[in-house]
């Protein structure tokens, strides 16, 4: 790696890129990404292949990583002045491998169950999907957003070969950013790219209509919906989540001002910004949560690991009396 | 004092309200559209006072040290008026002045100069008032900027009046830092000498407006009309006839030529425009009256060859057609082959009613400017208030020099039109890039008079210097 | 990555910015805007433009501005609906690629010098 790169590109992004290139994981953990699925009997081959992505499974690690990056940035080492990320962490007394090693996919981790819910929802709606388990690659999208286009392009071509070798034809994505990456950016870099990519919410809406299933929550609740940017303005899915919420009996959807939701939804500041400008990210998050709280809802529903991590953190900080829950989890609980 | 300009300014207005970051200086130093700000004219500092007092301190300082100050509302005026002409300047942004005081019992709002027009419009609407201006850049522009230009944008001036009719008074900081108030708190404006007028439409030459006492007006009932015409001159004839028949002036009277309408129509899924589009909004206190006027408009449109003319009742259709026209930069979403288009030259003139048709013909085929003839032309405008716009566009790849030629010829053509028909431009301002024309149109005696007035109020010429001189646009 | 490819990328960026009208309708959309234009879309675009054209400012400052964008595309939607559709968010992304490539190019050169 050239020294000049570190002088101008935020270390957080370089670190994440190196994680992906070296360990094929956003958080740089070598531990299997497929632990969540070990009891689910998902075949590797099926008509539809579920793409779990790094997000939900490794969110706990990412939380630790973001914390470490935040300390580094607080010490003025976010950019430019650092020689190496590990040295930066060393200086602030953070042992990254230490943090990550301590965390395992535990029951109180709110993220991993989302993956299990996704499979469960699809099954309840009559769709059995496959999953590549350990073979599922990291899609590489953080590199794309950080400006490492060449690395991303090369990574995408490698991944495509993996998909091909398993005969994957149709992908169902869950993490919005990764789904957008697979659907919209891979074709730019891979000649003859022929994978059909859908987001799980699209599939769910179709299936709900077809099966006529009527989801129902145990207790009536007023919720509001936070559109993840990647879902609303990249994948352009703004009706689907609302249709799903409205289909659940007992849910009252208190949507925001039209200028703050749907395709105009305000960003919550989660994701990459936390790695480079943590304090700004927090302020952005506070502004968004304040908008969401104005609806008077007691639950904020979303469906993106980065958003959920950010919203959870900020609502806690604000001592707000709301819960943040993933749409897929909510739906799973509402289906027989 | 006596440190660097930036450290002095930070002491005067607070350190979070001044910046010498190069990129901040670039962003505030530019106005809308082209060309880019020349590097040597980048201001040395940006100040964003949060109060009238802060503005006063900054002006006192600049006046004492003879430092040019350029006033920036949102920088959306695109004739060069908010843009620095002289090196070493301070850029004063009014965007920190966002106070809003409601005095509905006296029918006015007292607004900080930096209040955004869109936010204001939403606020007024929620209280049952109408903002009597629709400026194409309302999403970013400020009330201070609009008052300084005295523009109502797309609205028809003879329907509800110009901004000056709504400004009961202003609070102004003079170039020496003195703070003065003008006007009244009564809905009746002072008769005779009311020096509010010195500042409304003054383009920041005489002082910095810090507050505007803005009269509110109750919302009216509206009716919407759209028409499509085979020829642009048909639209002109329609409005000429409408006024000839002594019908009440509409709030809106817009035209968008067929080629210009294509991109905005595509964007909104409206299909191909059936012809040149004309839009009108009639207003009254009673819905029936507004509807009746709309019917009259439809009748007039039809009598002037409209292919289709009707009252638009669907909310969706209203939004789509009016957005297609109001968001005029959408026309730049057109492309030529694979190439995206950029604006190369622009013209805007408010012409005598009886010559609307002649000017339209002249813009298309009457003149002899070579570069303009070769470039693609979009015509649009507020035809109900006799204001016509021409925008010549070019592919992004066109070399800068060729584009500049188009720009130059467009300015010349604008001057020709105004001279030929004895009129003037009705929007965006008269100073800066329009000064060479101003001198021709009104003569050097008029210009000298203005220079003398400026000198009396601003002896060190610190406010927007170069704008009245026409510097950089000779 | 060669000099000419870098120049091509630079041109693509400045062409996009050329299409931006600086109408600033995107500014209020930007979640990172806290009152100064450099914290917003339009400020980012103007900075890239004059950095590329005249080398104004420092790479560190520019990088800081570019990477403080959340790539949420709210500006881009605003620009598409109300203005020129000059793809501001995608342009900011391209500018990040430009910084990366420029740095990598410099790195390669340094490497060549040290056998
Ligand atoms: C897309 C688009 C559409 C537009 N549509 C229209 C239109 O329909 N009609 C129209 O007339 N114009 C239009 N304009 C031009 C422009 O937006 C307006 O003239 C607007 O009023 C300028 O407001 P601003 O707040 O941006 O002021 P600026 O552009 O910042 O300033 C305008 C002038 O006023 C001075 N000034 C600003 N604030 C103050 C103050 N507080 N005290 C003293 N001087 C001050 C400045 O120095 C400058 O000379 C449009 C521009 C764009 C980009
Ligand atoms: S809205 Fe578009 S054209 Fe206007 S300033 Fe923003 S990016 Fe530029
Ligand atoms: S994409 Fe970046 S510049 Fe655009 S609104 Fe979001 S944060 Fe602002």
**What is the value of ipTM here, to two decimals?**
0.95
Helix (H) or strand (E) holding B237: helix B232-244
**Helical residues (DSSP H) of B79-213, grouped into ranges:** 117-126, 143-149, 157-160, 196-199
Chain C residues in contact with B330 by the CB 8 A cut-off are: 82-85
Q: Compute the distance between CA of residue B151 and CA of residue C111 in angstroms, rounded to an integer.
A: 60
* C-beta of C67 in contact with ligand 2 (< 6 A): no
Q: What is the pLDDT of residue B95?
A: 97
Handedness of CA A321, A324, A328, A332 (dihedral sign): negative
Which are the contacts of A132, defined by CB distance < 8 A and separation ≥ 6? A44, A49, A162, A166, A168
Q: What is the pLDDT of residue A79?
A: 45
Cβ-defined contact of A149 to C60 (cutoff 8 Å): no
User: CA of A13, closest CA in chain C: separation in Å?
Assistant: 9
Q: Compute the distance between CA of residue B325 and CA of residue B279 in angstroms, rounded to an integer.
A: 9
Q: Does pLDDT of C115 surpass 70?
A: no
Q: Compute the distance between CA of residue B376 and CA of residue B331 in angstroms, rounded to an integer.
A: 12
Sheet holding B276-284, edge to edge: B308-312, B221-229, B276-284, B252-256, B376-382, B387-395, B339-350, B335-336
Cβ-defined contact of A233 to C93 (cutoff 8 Å): no
Q: Compute the distance between CA of residue B179 and CA of residue B167 in angstroms, rounded to an integer.
A: 18
Q: What is the pLDDT of residue A62?
A: 74
Q: Compute the distance between CA of residue B132 and CA of residue B25 in angstroms, rounded to an integer.
A: 33
* C-beta of C26 in contact with ligand 2 (< 6 A): yes
Residue B174 Cα, ligand 2 centroid: separation in angstroms? 33
Q: Which residues of chain B have pLDDT under 50?
A: none
Q: Which fold has domain B100-218?
A: 3.30.465
- Look-up of token digits 């690690």: A61
* C-beta of C68 in contact with ligand 3 (< 6 A): no
Q: Which protein residues touch ligand 1 with a CB less than 6 Å away?
A: B 31-32, 71-78, 81-82, 94, 113, 135-137, 141-142, 144-146, 148-149, 151, 153-154, 203-204, 208-209, 329, 427-428, 464; C 21, 23
CATH number given to B335-420: 3.30.70
Same fold, B221-331 and B335-420: yes
Q: Compute the distance between CA of residue B347 and CA of residue B389 in angstroms, rounded to an integer.
A: 6
Q: Which chains touch A (3 or more CB pairs under 8 A)?
A: C
For residues A259 and C58, is the Cβ–Cβ distance under 8 A? no
Query: Tens digits of per-residue pLDDT, B69-114?
Result: 999 999 999 999 999 999 999 999 999 999 999 999 999 999 999 9
Residue A33 Cα, ligand 2 centroid: separation in angstroms? 41
Which of C34, C36, C42, C63 is the mutation pick for testing B, counting most B CBs within 10 A?
Answer: C36
Q: Compute the distance between CA of residue A102 and CA of residue A98 in angstroms, rounded to an integer.
A: 7
Which of C13, C70, C101, C112 is the mutation pick for testing A, counting most A CBs within 10 A?
Answer: C70
CB pairs under 8 A between A and C: 106
Residue B350 Cα, ligand 1 centroid: separation in angstroms? 18
Which of C10, C11, C14, C24 is the mutation pick for testing B, counting most B CBs within 10 A?
Answer: C24
DSSP-derived secondary structure letter, A181? I
Q: What is the pLDDT of residue C112?
A: 52
Determine how many CB atoms are found less than 10 A away from the CB of residue B439.
Answer: 14
pTM: 0.95
Which atom from ligand 2 is nearest to the alpha carbon of C85?
2
Q: Compute the distance between CA of residue A322 and CA of residue B2 in angstroms, rounded to an integer.
A: 54
Q: How confident is the model at residue C35 (pLDDT cuts 50, 70, 90)?
A: very high
Burial environment of residue C61 by CB neighbours within 10 A (0 to 12, 13 to 18, 19 or more): middle
What SS3 state is found at B356? helix
Residue ranges of domains in chain C = 3-113
Residue range B221-331 forms a domain whose CATH class is: alpha beta
Cross-strand partners of A173:
A51, A199
Residues in chain B: 474
Q: Compute the distance between CA of residue B263 and CA of residue C103 in angstroms, rounded to an integer.
A: 39
Q: Which string of DSSP letters, residue by residue, matches B265-327?
A: HHHTT--S-SSEEEEEEEEESSHHHHHHHHHHHHHHHHHTT-SEEEEE--HHHHHHHHHHHHS
Q: Compute the distance between CA of residue B200 and CA of residue B364 in angstroms, rounded to an integer.
A: 34
Cβ-defined contact of B329 to C24 (cutoff 8 Å): no
**Chain C: residue whose CA lies nearest to B322:** C82
Q: Compute the distance between CA of residue B148 and CA of residue C66 in angstroms, rounded to an integer.
A: 34
- CA–CA–CA angle B431, B89, B172 (5° rounding): 60
* C-beta of C78 in contact with ligand 2 (< 6 A): yes
User: CA of C37, closest CA in chain A: separation in Å?
Assistant: 15
For A50, A136, A240, A252, A312, the CA distances from A53, given in Å and listed in that order, are 9, 8, 21, 31, 20
Q: Compute the distance between CA of residue B288 and CA of residue C4 in angstroms, rounded to an integer.
A: 67
- CA–CA–CA angle B337, B338, B341 (5° rounding): 85
Domain A214-334 has CATH 3.90.50.10: no
Residue ranges of domains in chain A = 3-60+108-203, 214-334
Q: Which chains touch B (3 or more CB pairs under 8 A)?
A: C
Q: What is the pLDDT of residue A84?
A: 47
Q: Which chains touch C (3 or more CB pairs under 8 A)?
A: A, B
Residue range C3-113 forms a domain whose CATH class is: mainly alpha
Q: Compute the distance between CA of residue B101 and CA of residue B213 in angstroms, rounded to an integer.
A: 9
Candidates B270, B280, B274; CA nearest to B301 is B280
Determine how many CB atoms are found less than 10 A away from the CB of residue B264.
Answer: 26
Chain A residues in contact with C76 by the CB 8 A cut-off are: 233
What SS3 state is found at B167? strand
Residue ranges of domains in chain B = 2-93, 100-218, 221-331, 335-420
Which are the contacts of A191, defined by CB distance < 8 A and separation ≥ 6? none
For residues C26 and C79, is the Cβ–Cβ distance under 8 A? yes
Candidates A87, A171, A96, A103; CA nearest to A137 is A171
Return the residue whose CA atom lies nearest to atom 4 of ligand 1: B136
Q: Which residues of chain A have pLDDT under 50?
A: 1-3, 77-84, 88, 90-95, 97-106
Q: Compute the distance between CA of residue A175 and CA of residue A154 in angstroms, rounded to an integer.
A: 21
Task: Mark B265-284 as b/e (b = at least 16 C-beta within 10 Å).
Answer: bbbbebeebbbbbbbbbbbb
Residue B332 phi/psi, 5-degree rounding, is: -80, 5
The bridge status of strand B108-112 relative to strand B208-215 is antiparallel
For residues B290 and B252, is the Cβ–Cβ distance under 8 A? no
Question: Structure tokens of C96?
Answer: 């990040």
Question: Structure tokens of B109?
Answer: 């709002």
**Chain B: residue whose CA lies nearest to C20:** B33
Residue B108 Cα, ligand 3 centroid: separation in angstroms? 36
Q: Which string of DSSP letters, residue by residue, matches A243-257?
A: HHHHHSEEEEE----
DSSP-derived secondary structure letter, B430? S
Q: What is the pLDDT of residue A87?
A: 52
* C-beta of C87 in contact with ligand 2 (< 6 A): no
For residues B148 and B114, is the Cβ–Cβ distance under 8 A? no
Candidates B393, B340, B335; CA nearest to C15 is B340
User: CA of C107, closest CA in chain A: separation in Å?
Assistant: 5
Q: Compute the distance between CA of residue B16 and CA of residue B11 in angstroms, rounded to an integer.
A: 10
Question: Structure tokens of B443?
Answer: 């003569």
Q: Which string of DSSP letters, residue by residue, matches chain C?
A: --HHHHHHHHHHHHHHHHH-----TTGGG-TT-SSSGGGSHHHHHHHHHHHHHH--S-HHHHHHHHHT-----HHHHHHHHHS----HHHHHHHHHHHHHHHHHHHHHHHHHH--
Residue B425 phi/psi, 5-degree rounding, is: -80, 145
Decide if C84 touches B, using CB distance below 8 A: yes
Handedness of CA B243, B248, B249, B254 (dihedral sign): negative
Residue A266: CA count within 13 A, CB half-sphere: 26
Burial environment of residue A64 by CB neighbours within 10 A (0 to 12, 13 to 18, 19 or more): buried
Q: Which residue among C19, C20, C23 has the greatest number of ligand 1 atoms within 8 angstroms of its CB, and so is best to mutate? A: C23
Three-state SS annotation for A95-110: CHHHHHHHCCCCCCCC
Q: Which fold has domain B2-93?
A: 3.30.43
User: CA of A10, closest CA in chain C: separation in Å?
Assistant: 8
Helix (H) or strand (E) holding B208: strand B208-215
Question: Structure tokens of A303?
Answer: 């469906």
- Look-up of token digits 């959408």: B330
């Amino acid at each position: 790696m050239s020294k000049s790169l570190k002088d101008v590109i935020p270390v957080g992004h370089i670190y994440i890129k190196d994680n992906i290139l070296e360990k094929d994981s956003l958080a740089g953990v070598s531990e299997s990404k497929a632990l969540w699925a070990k009891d689910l009997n998902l075949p590797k081959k099926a008509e539809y292949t579920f793409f779990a992505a790094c997000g939900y499974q490794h969110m706990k690690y990412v939380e630790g990583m973001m914390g470490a990056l935040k300390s580094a940035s607080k010490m003025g080492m976010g950019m430019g002045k650092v020689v190496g990320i590990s040295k930066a962490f060393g200086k602030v007394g953070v042992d990254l491998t230490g943090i990550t090693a301590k965390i395992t996919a535990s029951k109180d981790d709110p993220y991993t169950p989302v993956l299990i819910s996704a499979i469960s929802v699809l099954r309840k709606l009559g769709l059995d999907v496959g999953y590549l388990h350990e073979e599922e690659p990291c899609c590489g999208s953080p590199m794309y957003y950080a400006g490492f286009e060449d690395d991303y392009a090369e990574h995408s071509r490698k991944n495509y070969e993996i998909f091909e070798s398993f005969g994957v034809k149709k992908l169902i994505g869950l993490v919005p950013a990764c789904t957008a990456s697979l659907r919209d950016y891979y074709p730019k870099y891979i000649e003859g790219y022929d994978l059909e990519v859908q987001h799980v919410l699209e599939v769910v809406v179709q299936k709900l209509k077809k099966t006529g299933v009527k989801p129902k929550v145990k207790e009536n609740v007023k919720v509001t919906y936070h559109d993840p940017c990647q879902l609303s303005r990249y994948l352009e899915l703004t009706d689907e989540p609302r249709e799903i919420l409205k289909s659940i009996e007992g849910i009252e959807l208190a949507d925001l001002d039209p200028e703050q939701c749907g395709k105009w939804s305000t960003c919550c500041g989660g994701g990459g910004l936390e790695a480079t400008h943590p304090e700004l990210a927090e302020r952005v998050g506070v502004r968004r949560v304040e908008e969401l709280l104005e609806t008077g809802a007691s639950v904020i529903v979303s469906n993106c690991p980065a958003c959920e991590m950010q919203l959870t953190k900020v609502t806690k900080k604000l001592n707000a009396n709301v819960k943040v829950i993933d749409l897929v989890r909510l739906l799973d609980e509402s289906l027989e | 004092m006596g440190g660097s300009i930036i450290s002095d300014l930070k002491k005067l207005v607070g350190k979070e309200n001044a910046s010498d970051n190069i990129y901040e200086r670039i962003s505030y130093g530019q106005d809308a559209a082209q060309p880019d700000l020349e590097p040597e004219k980048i201001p040395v500092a940006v100040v964003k006072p949060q109060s009238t007092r802060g503005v006063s301190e900054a002006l006192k300082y600049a006046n004492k040290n003879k430092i040019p100050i350029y006033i920036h509302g949102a920088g959306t005026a695109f004739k060069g008026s908010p843009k620095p002409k002289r090196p070493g300047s301070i850029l004063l942004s009014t965007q920190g002045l966002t106070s809003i005081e409601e005095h509905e019992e006296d029918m006015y709002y007292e607004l900080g100069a930096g209040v955004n027009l869109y936010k204001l419009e939403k606020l007024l609407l929620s209280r049952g008032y109408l903002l009597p201006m629709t400026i194409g850049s309302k999403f970013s522009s400020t009330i201070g900027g609009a008052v300084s230009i005295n523009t109502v944008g797309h609205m028809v001036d003879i329907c509800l009046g110009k901004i000056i009719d709504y400004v009961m008074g202003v609070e102004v900081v003079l170039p020496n830092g003195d703070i003065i108030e003008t006007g009244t708190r009564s809905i009746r404006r002072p008769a005779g000498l009311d020096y509010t007028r010195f500042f409304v439409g003054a383009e920041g030459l005489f002082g910095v407006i810090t507050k505007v006492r803005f009269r509110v007006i109750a919302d009216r009932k509206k009716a919407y009309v759209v028409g499509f015409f085979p020829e642009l001159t048909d639209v002109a004839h329609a409005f000429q006839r409408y006024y000839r028949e002594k019908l009440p002036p509409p709030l809106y009277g817009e035209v968008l030529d067929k080629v210009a309408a294509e991109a905005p129509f595509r964007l909104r899924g409206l299909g191909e425009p059936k012809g040149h589009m004309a839009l009108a909004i009639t207003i009254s206190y009673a819905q029936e009256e507004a509807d009746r006027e709309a019917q009259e408009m439809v009748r007039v449109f039809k009598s002037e060859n409209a292919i289709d003319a009707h009252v638009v009742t669907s909310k969706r259709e209203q939004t789509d057609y009016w957005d297609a026209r109001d968001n005029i930069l959408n026309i730049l979403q057109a492309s030529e082959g694979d190439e995206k288009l950029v604006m190369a030259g622009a013209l805007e003139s408010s012409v005598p009613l009886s010559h609307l048709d002649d000017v339209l013909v002249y813009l298309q085929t009457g003149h002899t400017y070579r570069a303009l003839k070769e470039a693609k032309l979009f015509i649009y405008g507020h035809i109900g208030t006799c204001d016509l716009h021409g925008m010549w566009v070019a592919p992004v790849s066109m070399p800068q020099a060729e584009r500049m030629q188009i720009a130059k010829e467009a300015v010349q053509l604008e001057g020709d039109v105004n001279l030929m028909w004895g009129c003037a431009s009705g929007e965006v301002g008269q100073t800066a890039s329009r000064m060479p024309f101003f001198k021709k149109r009104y003569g050097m005696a008029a210009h000298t008079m203005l220079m003398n007035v400026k000198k009396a109020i601003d002896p060190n010429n610190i406010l927007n210097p170069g704008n009245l001189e026409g510097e950089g646009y000779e | 990555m060669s000099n000419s490819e870098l120049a091509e990328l630079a041109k693509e960026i400045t062409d996009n910015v050329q299409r931006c009208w600086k109408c600033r309708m995107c500014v209020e959309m930007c979640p990172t805007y806290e009152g100064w234009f450099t914290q917003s879309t339009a400020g980012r675009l103007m900075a890239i433009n004059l950095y590329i054209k005249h080398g104004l400012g420092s790479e560190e400052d520019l990088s800081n501005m570019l990477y403080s964008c959340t790539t949420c595309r709210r500006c881009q939607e605003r620009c598409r609906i109300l203005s020129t559709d000059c793809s501001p968010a995608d342009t900011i992304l391209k500018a990040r690629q430009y910084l990366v490539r420029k740095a990598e190019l410099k790195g390669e050169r340094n490497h060549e010098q040290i056998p």
